[in-house]
Amino acid sequence: MIAAKKELILRELEAGTGAAIAVSVDNSGLRSGLRIWFADLDDKHGPVAELRPFGLKGHRVSLSFGNFSGEVIGQIRHASPEDVQLARALVASIRTDIEIEVPGQGLSEWHVANGAFLMTAKIRELELPNEDAAIISTCREVIVPIMAAMAELIGYDVIEVPVDDAAPAFEGAISPSVVLRRERNPRNRLLCIRIHGEKCAACGLEPRLVYGNAGLIIEVHHLEPVSSLAKPKAYDPRTDLVPLCPNCHRAIHTRRPIPFNIDEIRELMGGCNG
């Protein structure tokens, strides 16, 4: 695999997981493959994704843990219900023709209980499974969301927002710092893009089409952080997040504490044109 392609894979993995990633390429003979892990944990103290040929026309991806992963698994077992929900949603966003298995567990409620955890994915019927294009596509489609799910469970970073707004302005509202955390979480962004694409939900701009490689700038907006109900409804990244271009996102948040909704911002834009 040429170096430029490896760089591309690394960039997509790091953007999607929000963590530093290490990749090793095994080019020995026909059974070439890839190993991917979190750089700060190395490949012994955390999860490792491996891509190998599967039959003549397929790939098999496996996610397992290094021999000294006890500490990180302890961390994963303390992941919040929201982190677990997002991790499962990331794995569920993988194309349905790709066969995902977690031996001994159902796919809707998989969890990492110990170091024997294994998740596998089989990708079949590839035209040219040894070509870079096929390997990149398997990385993008399978390894990025699985590693992002692991990053979410481990609890990589996400920004810390100053907590001066612990009390939401309205009953049923969630605090602005929670909204900001969700909007800036790279795994939420990844899931939002995988589900809705990279087209701005307000103006229709698709930055990647306009700016090429400099266009990975679509942002994630959390819809309706203020609920009219007395009880806040459960957060669902699949329905509560939309992609917005940076301009529309800025514009929507000019109204506080309740941002404009998508229809209102469209109406304002229409006003400019007329």
Residues in contact with Zn ion by the rule CB under 5 A: 200, 202-203, 205, 221, 245, 248
CB of 44 to Zn ion, least distance (A): 39
- Label the pairing between strands 219-222 and 99-101: unpaired
Give min distance, CB of 242 to Zn ion, in A: 9
Nearer Cβ to Zn ion (203/226): 203
CB of 196 to Zn ion, least distance (A): 13
Q: Which is nearer to Zn ion, 48 or 251 (CB)?
A: 251
Q: How far is the CB of 203 from Zn ion (least distance, A)?
A: 3
Which C-beta is closer to Zn ion: that of 45 or that of 253?
Answer: 253
Nearer Cβ to Zn ion, position 88 or 221? 221
Residue 273, CA atoms < 13 Å, CB-side half-sphere: 7
- Beta carbon nearer to Zn ion, 113 or 210: 210
Question: 57 or 184, CB closer to Zn ion?
Answer: 184
| Minimal distance, residue 241 CB to Zn ion, in Å | 9
Burial class from Cβ neighbours inside 10 Å (0-12, 13-18, 19+) for residue 218 reads: buried
259 and 169 Cβ atoms separated by less than 8 Å: no
Q: What are phi and psi of 112, to 5 degrees?
A: -95, 105
- Least Å from the CB of residue 235 to Zn ion: 14
